[in-house]
Structure 1
Amino acid sequence: MSEKYSTNSPRTAALRNVMAHRGNDRNGRAGSIGCCQSLVSPQHASGSSALNRMRRRSTRRRLSQMQKAINFGQWANKRVQASDGYFFEQFSQPQPEEKESDTDTGQLTIVKLSINDNKERIQVFQDLYVEALYTIVHKVGKSSALPEPQLCKYVQNAFQVDDGLHQKLLNRAKKEKPPIVLLNISLLEARDLIAKDINGFSDPFTMMGIVPGSRRTKANDSEAGNGEQDEADEHGHETPPLSPHSQKQGNVLHRFGGSFRRRIGSKKSAKTEAKSIPAKYIKASSVQYKTLNPKWNEKFQFIVDDVSTDRFHMDIWDHDDEEKSVLDAVTSLNHITGLKGLGRYFKEVTQSARAGSQDCTDDFLGCVTMKLKDVPSAGCEDWFTLEKRSERSEVSGQVRLKLWLSTREERIDQQDDDLMDVRQHIELIRQFALHEIRMSGAPVSFFNGQLSDPATTILHQHAIQGDLTELHQSMCQWLAYSAMINIGISFSFLYDILSRLISKWVPLALDKDEENTLTESFQAFDDYCKKAMMGHRTNVSTSKRTQLESFSNMLRCWKLMRESPLYEKCLPFQKSFDYDINAILQKSAEEYFRHVIKHAEDNENPCKELYQVIQTLNKACAKMHKFDPIFKTFTDINYGLITYREFDRLLDEYICSEMMSEKKDDLKTLMMTASKTEGDNEELLITILRVHFAAQEFRQYRLPRQKYRLDKSDWGQIFDRAIVKWMDIARIKAFGRVELACQLDATIQIASSEIRHTSSYVDVCHIIDQYLAIWERMNVSDVILRADLTEKLVQCICKIAEFYVDRVLAQLATDGFCGQLQAFIPSALINLFCAAVNNIEQVRRSLVVTDKLHLDELLEQYEQKTQQKAQWKIEVESELDRCDKYLCEQIECTIDKLARRQIAILKKHVFHLAWSPSACPVEGALKPLTDTLDAELSAVHRTLLHRNFVRVMHAQVNILLPLFDECIEENPGLEPVFYQRLYEAWSVLTDFFHAGGKGISLETFETIPAHMELVSKLALNQMSTIRIIEQYYKNLLKEQNDVSECKYGILNVRAYYNSNSQTLVVDVIGAKQVIPLDTNGLSDPFVVIELVPRLRYPTQPVSKTKIVSKSLNPIFDETFEFHIPPKIPTGGMVHFIVMDHDFLRSNDFAGEAFLDLTEVPGFGTAGVANTLRQFNLILIHPSNSNKGMVDVLASRKEDKEAQNFIRTLSVAY
Structure 2
Amino acid sequence: MEMDREEMMWKQIYNQVMESKKKDEEKKTAHEVRIQEVDGGFFEKFGSLFREQAELAISQEIEEKEGVVAAAAVATDLEGNESDYAVQPDNEADTDSIAALSDAESNEKQSKTELISTALNIDELYSEILYEILHNVGCDLSCEIGQNALFSYIQDAFHVSNEYHQTQLAAAEKKEAPKILLNVEVIEAKDLAPKDSNGLSDPFVTLYLTSDSSHRYNTSVKEGTLTPLWEEHFALPLPENTSDDFLCLEAWDFDPAETVKEKFGKIFDVKGVKGVRKLMKEIAVTAAHGQHENELIGTARVPLNTIPAAGMVMWYSLDKKNKDSRQGIIKVRLSFSSKKNTLVAEQEHRHLLRVLLLDELEKSKVAPHWWCGSFSKQGEAIITQHIIQSGLTPLEATVCQWAVYTKIHQKHALSFVLFSNLLDQLIKPLQSNSISAEDTRLFWESTKNLLPYCISVIRKLKKKQADKILVRTVNEVLTIFDKILMLDPPSDMDLFPATLYPWLPPHEENSNYSVKNALMDAVSVSASNWFDYIVDNNKGSDSSEISTLQFITKIINLVRCDVQKAIEFFDRTFQEKIGIAYAKELYKFYQQKICEIAEEEVTNVCKTLKKFNFTGNTLDRESHEEPLNEGTKLFELYLGIQRFVLLGKGISPVDCDNFNINNFYKWFHGGVAQWLEIAVFKALQRIEKAVELDKLVPVDATVKYSSSAVDTLTIFYQVKVFWQQLNWPDVEGCYTFIAKMIDDICRCGVFYAQKMSKRVEGMGEIQNPYETRFEVTNEWCLAINNIEYVSQALRPFTTELGMNEVVKKMADIKSPIEADRCQQTLENVIENAIDTVKNEIIELLETVISKMAPAMKRLLVEGAELFNQDSNSIDRLMMYVDNNLSTLNRELNEENFDRTINMVWEQLSKILLDIIETNLEKRRPPSFFANLHKTLNLMLGSFKSSDDTSCEGLEKTERLLRIHGLETNDLIHQVHLDLCEEYKSLEESPFGKLTVRSKFEGNSLHIEILNAKILVAMDSNGLCDAFVRVHLMPEDKFRNHEPPKTKTHNKTLLPLFDEKFEVKLTDEQRLAKDGLLMFSVKDKDLLGYNNKHVGEAFISFKDIIDTDAPISTLPQVHLELARPTNTAALSIKAMEHRQGEKLAKEFMKKFKQRMGSHQPKASE
TM-score, normalisation: structure 2: 0.42
Larger Rg: 2
TM-score, normalisation: structure 1: 0.40
